[in-house]
Structure 1
Amino acid sequence: MIKLYLSSLNHRTLLVTVISFASVFLSYRFKIFFNVDLTLLSIAIIFPLVFTIRGSFRRREKALEHLSQYRSAMKTLHYFITTSMLLENEVASLKLLLENIENKTLLHLKSNEGSITNLDKEVDKIYEFIHSRRKTIPKSLKEKLFKYMCDLHEAIDNLNGILVHRTPLSLKAYCKVFIYIFPLIYAPTIIFNIGPTYNPLAVYFVVLITEFILISLYNIQDHLEYPFDEKGLDDIQLDHFKVLR
């Protein structure tokens, strides 16, 4: 339960807390009070924040679909290889290759590596295996194997696409900058509206809680952005998509 509430706290939370506290303190210390319409500034933060959260959630749902497709292709290949007319040693070799592909695929997703070269080489080993036995493996069997391999390639490429291409980085950077700037404008405006003689503790509380909410939502989006590392509460449990689970 404690982890549930602490998962969205990190160095950014500490940074905005310091900025918020300093903004209120300096506003009172140097009597910096002004009235600014916060509507446009709120839109500058809320709109990109909501957009990126929705985008990250859609990417997570797409990742689940492609992981299901990936496991389906792997299971089908296992079934097909086991029931085919291949020799016993050939079946064992192909199963070992599929096991290596599974391990490399899940490791690739968890490690957040941009390059997929090593994984491609592992998948290509099945083609090399079939090609090396092109004279002994029947043509119909090869065609079926290539068909199932096509589904596997498609699933892996889709997962890698989700891993590499994320929600717009410029929009995230824009949103984060405005979250950091917001208390510098928000604190003097709050003091102006309620009056400088009002209890300062109330101003500190309002500014701090507002920034805490904004940065917590940003951190939640950041966790959703990369759903494969199993660090966030909403991350995908990749072990559930193993062939043998």
Structure 2
Amino acid sequence: MRAYLGIFNWHSLLILFLALASSLAALQWQLSIHLDFLVLGLLVVFPLTLTIKEAFKRRERAIQYLSAMEASLRSFYYCFSNSKLDPSGKQLANELLYKASSALHAFLTGQHQDIKRVSEGTDQIASFITENRKVLKGALSQKLMLSLFRARECTNFLVATKRHHTPLGIRTIALIAIYSFVIFYPASVLDQQGFQVPLWYLFAMTAFKAILLISLFNVQVQLEDPFRMGGPDSIKLMDFELIDLRLAVESNGSKMVGSAKNDDEDEEGEVFL
């Protein structure tokens, strides 16, 4: 339930305050104005419809590229596991693949903003394939390089989706139109129904419509970043995590720690002996 309340923010509170203030002012000073809200409605509905549609397309394409990226890295994992690399080489390959995946996920979730860390992941995999092309055989290394090109394409698209949004000017026009509606709508209601309208009715009519509009605007803003953590429509990046690689890297790390402890104990024993 908390995730769905994310469509309400400080814009929602400000809209409610302006709705109350404009209703009070219109009744207190008996303000009335005849306005055609058709143009104002177009300034709100058309930009929001366009930007929500485009933002949703970006979100769906991001899911496709995340799936392709996860499939590419997993195919690398299977190829390296079935190759003639020695155990240390396979472990290094697993660490490079996991590093590339974790660096991309960390960038998408906003843990860091360094694009070089993301590109270094695929660059190090390419260097590893080049250094071990004799062990991997020529045909396999070439196929891996072609697959790496696809993985790099997915990485570039996901980074661009994180950094580039829909046009800011369209969203700004929609926001200005929403605030203009809140300010002038109570006076327009009084022009049609007279000044005998109670305050609660005028405020309820204004606030209800304004909250609907600003909520649509907030949904559009949240869709701008499909990787934002905690949003109701955010992409679940955990679904694209390479769990096999993480477990392999973590298990090898624990073995290395255990062997290091054993070596230290042996050294200490030799000293005492």
TM-score interval for Structure 1 and Structure 2 normalised by the shorter chain = over 0.9
Question: Match of 2:84?
Answer: 85
Question: Match of 2:164?
Answer: 165
1:85, distance to aligned residue in structure 2 (A): 2.0
User: Map of 1:125-140 to 2, 5 A cutoff?
Assistant: 125-134=124-133, 137-140=136-139
Deviations 1:139-170 (A, max 9, x none): 22321221121111111111112112221111
User: Map of 1:31-110 to 2, 5 A cutoff?
Assistant: 31-110=30-109
- Residues 112 and 229, structure 1, Cα contact 8 Å, conserved in 2: no
Question: Match of 1:11?
Answer: 10
1:112, distance to aligned residue in structure 2 (A): 7.3
Partner amino acid for 2:126?
Y
Question: Match of 1:143?
Answer: 142
**Aligned residues, how many?**
244
Deviations 1:60-97 (A, max 9, x none): 11111111111111111111111112222211111110
Partner amino acid for 1:77?
F
Deviations 1:40-64 (A, max 9, x none): 1111111111111111111111111
- Residues 23 and 186, structure 2, Cα contact 8 Å, conserved in 1: yes
Same amino acid, percent of matched pairs = 26
- Residues 110 and 228, structure 1, Cα contact 8 Å, conserved in 2: yes
Unaligned runs of 5+ in 2: 245-273
Larger Rg: 2
Question: Match of 1:174?
Answer: 173
CA RMSD of aligned residues (A): 1.7
More displaced 10-residue stretch of structure 1: 69-78 or 162-171: 162-171
More displaced 10-residue stretch of structure 1: 193-202 or 99-108: 193-202
Question: Match of 1:20?
Answer: 19
TM-score by length of structure 2 reads 0.84
Unaligned runs of 5+ in 1: none
1:134, distance to aligned residue in structure 2 (A): 4.9
TM-score by length of structure 1 reads 0.93
Specify which structure has the bigger relative contact order, considering alpha-carbon pairs within 8 angstroms and separated by 6 or more residues.
1
